[in-house]
Amino acid sequence: MSNESILTNKKRWRGVLLHTLVWIAVFSLPYLLRLYDSRLRESPNALRYFYLSNLTSICWVAIFYLNAYVLVPKFLYTKRYGILVILLLVLYVAAIALHSLFYQLVIIDRPFRLVNAISFNLPPFLMSVAASIAYRMLVDKSKNDMLLQARQQETMKSELSFLRSQISPHFMFNVLNNMLAMARAKSDQLEPTILKLSSLMRYILYESDGDKVEIRKETEYLQSYIDLQRQRLSSKVALQINLNTSDSDQEIAPMLLIPFIENAFKHGTGHIIKPEIQIDLYVKNNLLHFTVRNKFNAASTEIKDKTSGIGLANVKRRLNLLYPGRHTLLITDNDNWFTVSLQINLADDIKMHSS
């Protein structure tokens, strides 16, 4: 038997045990009331009424589950309220009939009064129906929440996979062309370039598989990417880089910052007079500060590729899912400068990691 099957069986048995305990508590109420009320203890028929109450309670249990698992999904969720009301009335009549049968079997010396039976059993019937509806809605909401969470996790995984593949084609083509030129020129920079590319690919393929990575490793990856871009662009672009997280042992979601840097190199190195890119990253008081600025040409008619903007949309969605209420993201474009400013509160991650 697989671990998943074992966990499923354990969860199912826990549910059965919980339901059993709840119904035992419900069935015990008449007995507890009998102990509390001296008139019921002194009544000669007290024990018989106790048995009658428990026998009738079986009807409420049956109605609870029948309504929760059959009537609510088929008629309440589909808004066929008239049919639902009719079926509930039928169930109530059937419960009164069974109560009458139980009464005649248990209570011998008193006649059965239909009016009393209807008025006495109406409150527990309504409570059973209301409880079953609430129970079914809560169960379905819990399942929907779990399904939504699973879908969000799958979405984040697919988006991370997309980011991994997105970085490859255009960037890799340029880097390989640059390495080819180095090989022909027998440049001393070829070996360190290969090492940086190897380190970058190792991080993408192997080290970023988890939910979180050390900020230090993420920074090393960003530095390798920037160095390769710097080497390719030579002196064409003025770069101001400050990545200062070497003394931080905190963690962050992988591949979260690279889309902003990619976007800066993609749109800040084209037809621009004196292109310039500024990148600043540091952690202070459990707050990550990340800023990327690049010049851009607002009048440029450069055609963006099909993935333009998708990476930024993905990282915004990941931020909302992974750091809800714990991050601020500001994107502006003023005076031919495109600026991204991101702050992430990492304090909760420290608590979860330490616990």
Q: Which residue has the tokens 């309220």?
A: 81
Please tell me the distance from the alpha carbon of residue 44 to that of residue 164, in angstroms, as a whole number: 80
C-alpha distances in Å from residue 335, one per residue of 71, 269, 298, 332: 64, 17, 9, 10
What does the block give as tokens for 273? 């007079």
Per-residue pLDDT of 343-353, as tens digits, reads: 999 886 654 44
Contacts of 234 (CB under 8 A, 6+ apart): none
CA distance 139 to 154: 23
> Ramachandran region of residue 286, left (φ > 0), alpha (ψ -120 to 50) or beta?
left
Distance CA 264, CA 225 (A): 12
Angle between helices 114-166 and 310-322 (to 10 degrees): 140
Reading the chain (355 residues) residue by residue, the pLDDT tens digits are 455 556 566 667 777 787 777 777 766 665 655 544 455 455 556 667 767 777 888 888 899 999 999 999 999 988 999 999 999 999 999 999 998 888 888 776 778 888 888 888 888 889 889 989 999 999 898 888 887 777 666 666 666 555 555 554 556 667 777 778 778 887 787 888 888 888 777 777 766 667 788 998 899 889 988 888 888 777 788 999 999 887 778 899 888 888 899 888 888 887 788 889 999 999 988 899 999 999 887 665 444 444 455 567 777 888 887 888 899 999 998 888 999 999 999 886 654 444 4
Rounded Cα gap, residues 87 and 179, in angstroms: 77
Question: Which ranges in the chain are annotated with CATH 3.30.565.10?
Answer: 167-354
Counting Cα atoms < 13 Å in the Cβ hemisphere of 288 gives 31
**Whole-number Cα distances in Å, 289 to 22, 58, 330:** 51, 62, 12
Q: Give pTM, 2 decimals.
A: 0.55
Q: How far is CA 187 from CA 178, 181, 223, in A?
A: 11, 9, 21
CATH homologous superfamily, domain 167-354: Histidine kinase-like ATPase, C-terminal domain (3.30.565.10)
If you compute the radius of gyration of the chain from its CA atoms, what whole number of angstroms results? Answer: 34
